[in-house]
Copies of this chain bind each other. A is one copy, B any other.
């Protein structure tokens, strides 16, 4: 850390003052002038806490735009909050800066963060800025609030519940494959705009924050889809002690993803197992589906019913149009 003798501020202090204080608007953040922040949930509310870490070369490409890196790091946490039914309240940031991150990189990173903090009503409360000897490291802890006891768990699904999912599934996974496997992308015969769409879905998830209140009001169980719909929903079933039948045809795909799947049957396996969707998969009693659908429409979020919960613990089945289970396991996807 270098010290600017004139101002008495260290390099880290100036970096924080310039780039991060504008995002720290909550009084409890103390303008980032202190070692810690304070926050008090309103009476009758619980705090919900979540934390994810993204590392360059693992969770994003080292040459991804810095603003997108910042936004993704915040958004994957906002996605967790939304899936639990919590409204965002704030976040803390730990940033490991690689030696080649210059002022322009930081500027862009902070601008992306500021835009999303504003858009999602989730101000910065504090954190830590350090040097990383390797790639950029971004660790966000986000917290939200909801009425006490209202957090939606993975456990809670029961036989007969409907299975629903927001948005579209598989875009990000296909976008990622496209970035690392040009031959594969050619096989899908996508137009430039379709490629761009999938790439962007990988780069910048869209947390379903506007759907959080409906989730906590109506869902019996929910989680966000970060490691692939098949695997993540299997976790929800395991925690709930149930299984499910999912109709693969009803899993919502974007036009670009649909085109890829039409050209390459294995693209469906990628879409269902690939991850980075940051959509919400939830279960709800049949009587709740209408309210969920109305809430989704009001929030401008697509919501699709894709199957139903069945009794008895077990890995959920993804069924093709003839009702035959797809084998999504271990990369040995067959059956199409």
Chain A residues near B (Cβ < 8 Å):
1, 3, 5, 8, 10, 13, 30, 33-41, 43, 45-59, 80-81, 83-84, 86, 92-96, 125-128, 130-135, 137, 139, 141, 143, 148, 151, 153-155, 223-224, 227, 231, 234-235, 238-239, 315, 329-330
The answer on a CB contact under 8 Å between B139 and A55 is no
Contacts of A238 in B (CB 8 A): 8
Q: List, sorted by A's number, 6 A–B pairs whose CB atoms are closer than 8 Å.
A: A3-B231, A3-B329, A38-B151, A40-B47, A53-B139, A55-B133
Chain B residues, Cβ within 8 Å of A96: 53, 55, 137
- Does B329 lie within 8 Å of A36, measured CB to CB? no
Task: Specify which of B94, B143, B227 is in contact with A139 (CB 8 Å cutoff).
Answer: B94
Q: Choose among A13, A46, A50, A315 the residue with the greatest number of B CB atoms under 10 Å from its CB.
A: A50
Cβ-defined partner of A128 (8 Å) among B10, B36, B52? B52
A3 vs B273: C-alpha distance in the bound complex, in angstroms?
12
Known: A10-B227, A30-B153. 17 other contacts (CB 8 A): A3-B329, A8-B238, A35-B80, A36-B48, A38-B151, A39-B47, A41-B47, A43-B43, A53-B96, A53-B128, A53-B139, A56-B133, A57-B133, A92-B141, A128-B139, A133-B135, A134-B135
CB-nearest residue of chain B to A133: B57
**What residue in chain B is nearest A150 (Cβ atoms)?**
B38
Contact: B40 with A41, CB < 8 Å? yes
A49:B36 contact, CB within 8 angstroms: yes
- CB atoms of B131 and A58 under 8 A apart: yes
Hey, which chain B residues are within 8 Å of A43, CB to CB?
Answer: 43
- What CA separation (Å) do A55 and B59 show in the bound complex? 18
